[in-house]
């Protein structure tokens, strides 16, 4: 069957999800989580095949890699989503007009959501759980890098859906080729929303070519600004965690902005990074201070392209600024609107930073590594939106619903 025919099957199957009870959906999600752990070895074997085709030095390698621990985390997120209340059928607004019309604004699913993603096999499970909980069907368009893993994941999901007599077409894994991507981007009438997850190049391609509505989950070019009133005891572990927890994810730190008055504290702020062999691209002032206090083979002079770059690697830039104003202006100029942080004990400075920095997530004395749907109490996430229409930041259940107006009358006519 051609791609359009497959999308028509998903479109038709989506209607059946409206009839599923919240309890059945919760049971399905828990059953998939259990089955995933029971079949962990088969998933990891498929994942090893994908990994064998990728250079371990590739920044995508860590995102592609699954382990027993990571599978346990994915299963836990799925069980958390199962416990969340349904976002569907909520009365968002209700009024009775002077003419007696009863008007309600009620949350409803989008219908069919397409996800285009690269080497991120966890997305297959995360998207399924959030879409099923919100009564949406999903079309998964993974990259060829993770095809074996994605097929194993969807095979497990389909086996559980069959056990519950649910149409398996509510979850469709598309072929990994470009032709399938093109069909998905132009499937108006069959697909209601597309969410790309991956590199800035992928996201731009989807935005520029789709005729289906798109929610952008942009690249993460993330900064931490260490203010004149910053606490080194807080700042060093914040910077270290934001940079090294997982370098291949979009909330990882890319650039430290340092107030010029705190240059003497820079060696202490950077010392923990050396244990992880983080390469630092330092501007002239910070380079002079770090020289002799940071491993010489890991300290390099910054180039213009060192700034405004998402490294996805054990690399980081440092830029010296003269004021809070300069830090805010720099972030708003070069960042991607994802996650930004200020380290300071000055409440007024923190409030200005949080108010004036244009980003989906803004942190005060906490690392950007917390930008994650599960960490925000959302169960899981379908992506982190860096745009401002409809959804922003970690997107979970509410972000993949829309609404309709329901009007009840008693024969009124408009004059």
Task: Using a pLDDT cut of 90, give the percent of the chain over it.
Answer: 82
Task: Report whether pLDDT(204) > 90.
Answer: no
Whether residue 188 is found in the same domain as residue 247: no
Task: Report whether pLDDT(205) > 80.
Answer: yes
What is the 3-state secondary structure of the chain?
A: CCHHHHHHHHHHHHHHHCCCCHHHHHHHHHHHHHHHHHCHHHHHHHHHHHHHCCCCCCCHHHHHCCCHHHHHHHHHHHHHHHHCCCCCCCEEEEEECCCCCEEEEEEEECCEEEEEECCCCHHHHHHHHHHHHCCCEEEEECCHHHHHHHHHHHHHHHHHHHHCCCCHHHEEECCCCHHHHHHHHCCCCCCCEEEEECCHHHHHHHHHHCCCCECCECCCCEEEEECCCCCHHHHHHHHHHHHHCCCCCCCCEEEEEEEHHHHHHHHHHHHHHHCCCCEEEECHHHHHHHECCECHHHEEECCHHHCCCCCCCCEEEEEEECCHHHHHHHHHHHCCCCEEEEECCCHHHHHHHHHHCCCCEEEECCCHHHCCCCCCCCCCCCEEECCCCCCCEEECCHHHEEEEEEEECCCCCCC
Of the candidate ranges 28-42, 126-140, 389-403, the one whose mean pLDDT is the lowest: 389-403
Is residue 340, in this structure, part of any structural domain at all? yes
Mean pLDDT of 119-131: 92
Whether residue 213 is found in the same domain as residue 231: no
Query: pLDDT tens across 327-375, in order?
Result: 999 999 999 899 999 999 999 999 999 999 999 999 999 999 999 988 9
Task: Report whether pLDDT(36) > 90.
Answer: yes
pLDDT at 83: 94
In 3D space, the residue among 4, 74, 61, 5 whose CA is nearest the CA of residue 34 turns out to be: 74
Is residue 382, in this structure, part of any structural domain at all? no
Record the tokens describing residue 205, joined without a space: 């391609």
pLDDT at 54: 94
Mean pLDDT of the chain: 94
CATH number for position 137: 3.40.605.10
Whether residue 227 is found in the same domain as residue 299: yes
Total domains present in the chain: 2
Is residue 379, in this structure, part of any structural domain at all? no
What confidence tier does 63 reach under pLDDT thresholds 50, 70, 90? Answer: confident
What confidence tier does 160 reach under pLDDT thresholds 50, 70, 90? Answer: very high
Task: Report whether pLDDT(193) > 80.
Answer: yes
Whether residue 205 is found in the same domain as residue 332: no
Whether residue 282 is found in the same domain as residue 345: yes
Is residue 380, in this structure, part of any structural domain at all? no
pLDDT at 145: 92
Domain hosting 168: range is 3-218+387-408
Task: Report whether pLDDT(59) > 80.
Answer: no
Whether residue 227 is found in the same domain as residue 134: no
Is residue 378, in this structure, part of any structural domain at all? no
What confidence tier does 248 reach under pLDDT thresholds 50, 70, 90? Answer: confident
pLDDT at 200: 76
CATH number for position 357: 3.40.309.10
Whether residue 254 is found in the same domain as residue 340: yes
pLDDT at 178: 84
Task: Report whether pLDDT(377) > 90.
Answer: no
pLDDT at 208: 92
Task: Report whether pLDDT(383) > 90.
Answer: no
Whether residue 159 is found in the same domain as residue 238: no
Whether residue 286 is found in the same domain as residue 397: no
Whether residue 334 is found in the same domain as residue 275: yes
Is residue 188, in this structure, part of any structural domain at all? yes
Q: Count Cβ atoms within 10 A of the Cβ of residue 270 and give its class: 0-12 exposed, 13-18 middle, 19 or more buried.
A: buried
pLDDT at 403: 95
pLDDT at 299: 97
Mean pLDDT of 289-303: 97
Of the candidate ranges 74-78, 128-132, 396-400, the one whose mean pLDDT is the lowest: 396-400
pLDDT at 219: 75
pLDDT at 203: 86
Is residue 160, in this structure, part of any structural domain at all? yes
pLDDT at 157: 98
Is residue 86, in this structure, part of any structural domain at all? yes
What confidence tier does 287 reach under pLDDT thresholds 50, 70, 90? Answer: very high
- The whole-model pTM stands at 0.85
Record the tokens describing residue 337, joined without a space: 């609107």
Q: Name the packing angle between helices 122-133 and 68-83 (round to 10°).
A: 10
Whether residue 226 is found in the same domain as residue 102: no
How far apart CA 305 and CA 293 sit, in angstroms, is 24
Strands 91-96 and 102-109: antiparallel
Task: Report whether pLDDT(102) > 90.
Answer: yes
Whether residue 276 is found in the same domain as residue 142: no
């Amino acid at each position: 069957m051609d791609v359009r025919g497959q999308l028509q099957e998903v479109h038709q199957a989506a209607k059946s999800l409206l009839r599923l009870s919240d309890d059945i959906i919760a049971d399905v999600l828990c059953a998939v989580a259990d089955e995933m752990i029971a079949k962990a070895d088969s998933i990891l074997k498929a994942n090893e095949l994908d990994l064998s085709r990728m250079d371990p030095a590739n920044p995508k390698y860590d995102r592609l890699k699954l382990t027993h621990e990571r599978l346990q985390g994915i299963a836990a997120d799925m069980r958390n989503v199962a416990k969340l209340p349904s976002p569907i059928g909520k009365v968002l607004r209700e009024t009775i007009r002077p003419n007696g019309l009863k008007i309600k604004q009620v949350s409803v699913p989008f219908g069919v959501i397409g996800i285009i993603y690269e080497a991120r096999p966890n997305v297959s499970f995360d998207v399924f759980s959030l879409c099923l909980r919100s009564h949406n069907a999903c079309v998964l368009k993974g990259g060829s890098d993770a095809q074996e893993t994605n097929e194993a994941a969807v095979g497990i999901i389909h086996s559980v859906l069959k056990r519950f007599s649910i149409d398996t077409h509510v979850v469709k894994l598309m072929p990994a080729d470009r032709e399938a991507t093109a069909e998905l981007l132009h499937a108006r009438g069959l697909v209601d929303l597309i969410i790309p997850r991956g590199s800035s190049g992928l996201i731009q391609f989807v935005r520029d070519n789709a005729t289906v509505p798109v929610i952008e989950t942009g690249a993460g070019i993330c900064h931490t600004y260490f203010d004149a009133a910053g606490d080194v005891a807080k700042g060093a572990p914040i910077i270290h965690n934001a940079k090294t927890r997982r370098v291949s994810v979009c909330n990882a730190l890319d650039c430290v902005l340092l107030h010029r008055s705190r240059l003497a504290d820079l060696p202490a702020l950077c010392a923990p990074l050396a244990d992880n062999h983080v390469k630092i691209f330092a501007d002239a002032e910070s380079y002079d201070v770090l020289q002799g206090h940071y491993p010489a083979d890991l300290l390099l002079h910054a180039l213009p392209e060192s700034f405004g770059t998402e490294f996805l690697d054990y690399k980081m830039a440092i830029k010296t600024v003269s004021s809070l104003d300069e830090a805010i202006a720099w972030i708003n100029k070069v960042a991607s609107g994802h996650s930004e942080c200020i380290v300071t004990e000055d409440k007024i400075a923190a409030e200005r930073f949080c108010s004036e920095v244009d980003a989906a997530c803004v942190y005060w004395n906490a690392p950007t590594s917390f930008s994650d749907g599960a960490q925000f109490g959302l169960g899981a996430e379908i992506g982190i939106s860096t745009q401002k229409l409809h959804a922003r930041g970690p997107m979970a259940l509410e972000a993949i619903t829309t609404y309709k107006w329901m009007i009840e009358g008693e024969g009124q006519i408009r004059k």
